[in-house]
Amino acid sequence: MSLIVDKKLGFGTMRLPLTDPENPRSVDLEQFRKMVDLYLSRGFCYFDTAYPYHGEYSEDAVRQALTERYPRESFLLADKMPIFRVQATEDYDRFFEEQLRRCGVSYFDVYLLHNLGRDRYPNAQRFGAFPFLTRIKEEGLAKNVGFSFHDDAETLDRILTEHPEVDVVQLQINYLDWNAAVAQSGRCYEVAARHGKDVIVMEPVKGGMLASLPAPAMQLFTDFYGADAPSPASLAVRFAASLEQVKVVLSGMSNLEQTENNTAYMRDFIPLSDQERALTKKIEEAMNEAIRVPCTGCRYCMEVCPRNIAIPDYFGLLNLHAVTGQKTNMYYERFAMNHGRASECLQCGLCEKNCPQHIAIREILKEFAALYE
């Protein structure tokens, strides 16, 4: 069935506000409830969560802030099967039932295999992931089924060709990655459109990278819009929302101010003009010249790092240095107090296998250690 959503802005629960920045489970529930209230009051309805988000606490937070407080028919809820944890066919039902309990619901509006790609596809086939999706849809436990995806267009085409029964795919789409050789946002979108699949967009602001533009890109932005310039994030979200096959654009909102801003410009959504599309191309070119690491901060690398190295945080510091020339040793020491130092990398490569952006993490950690240590 086709996914029907009146307003395209979706609420991603991967980057919720925290009471303790060092503890991903310390979700600020009071602020999260206010964000949910504002979001729903402005006519939006789509929420996205997943098993591992916030140290496996996001689903519980969604229950406390949303599903226990609002009628089930007043919102749409998407969740994802942690296929990286599935070791046997029966695991699908075990995880799914746990997720229903955590979220406090009897069904999901959208249910996805989480981060399917060429490495995880064989096991998904082996353990019956797609028959499982078909069954929960037939039983009314999920209204739309599909998978989220961080890989190349050729792999996406293969999966959709072999499994036309899925309704929806969740793709990383943003204007910085549209023509990228690794992320292949544009090519993956075209594959999904050719197969007639509804598209849900994740990382439209590329982990916040397109919300705080480096100086050369920001100059292009302000020159175009003038004194009444909107937020840079709005340009990124509207870029993704302007694509015809896109039904929902997820924004990982982290505070009430972001929720206010995002719902304000998306309440009466206006697609990008041709001139704005040209602007995104110019910003893309300017940023590609400055940014060192295309990291979105998803932290999938940290899920498997035996030294618990704060890879995304270190890459953020490296990008800051690349753009501004500044080193922030204080932040590095703070991160390193609770995580492994960059020089403690074992070079095992597990992080690179789990990285949706296919970043050469080990080599860049060496570069970071040489700069900061």
pLDDT tens-digit readout, 265-280? 999 999 999 999 999 9
Q: Of the ranges 189-198, 275-284, 293-302, which one carries the lowest mean pLDDT score?
A: 293-302
The helix/strand/coil state of 248 is strand
Confidence of residue 324 (pLDDT cuts 50, 70, 90): low
Position 292 confidence tier, pLDDT thresholds 50, 70, 90: confident
pLDDT of the residue at 1: 62
pLDDT at 117 over 80: yes
Q: Per the structure block, which two tokens stand in for 313? A: 């945080």
pLDDT at 118: 84
Burial of residue 87 (number of CB atoms within 10 Å: 0-12, 13-18, 19+): exposed
Q: What are phi and psi of 15, to 5 degrees?
A: -130, 55
Q: Poorest-confidence range of 17-26, 145-154, 177-186, 244-253?
A: 177-186
CB–CB of 160/191 below 8 Å?
A: yes
DSSP per-residue codes, 301-345: HHHH-TT-B-HHHHHHHHHHHHHH----HHHHHHHHHHSB-GGG-
How much is the pLDDT for 68?
Answer: 98
How far apart, in whole angstroms, are the C-alpha atoms of residue 298 and residue 285? 24
Stretch (H or E) spanning 115: strand 108-116
pLDDT band at 323 (very low <50, low <70, confident <90, very high): low
Q: Tell me which range, 146-150, 215-219, 321-325, is most confidently predicted by mean pLDDT.
A: 146-150
Read off the pLDDT of each residue in 19-33 and give the average, rounded to a whole number. 96
How does DSSP classify residue 352? H
Residue 151's pLDDT band, with cuts at 50, 70 and 90, is: confident
Q: Could you give all domains of the chain from N- to C-terminal order, each with its CATH number? A: 9-288 (3.20.20.100), 300-372 (no CATH)
Element (H, E) at 46: strand 46-48
Q: How far, in Å, CA of 146 to CA of 163, rounded?
A: 9
Q: Which amino acid is at 35?
A: M
The predicted structure's pLDDT at residue 206: 87
Q: What's the rounded mean pLDDT across residues 43-58?
A: 97
Percent of all residues in the chain with a pLDDT value above 70, rounded to a whole number: 99
**Gyration radius from the chain CA atoms:** 20
* DSSP string for 193-222: HHTT-EEEEE-TTTTTTTTS--HHHHHHHH
* pLDDT in the model for residue 223: 96
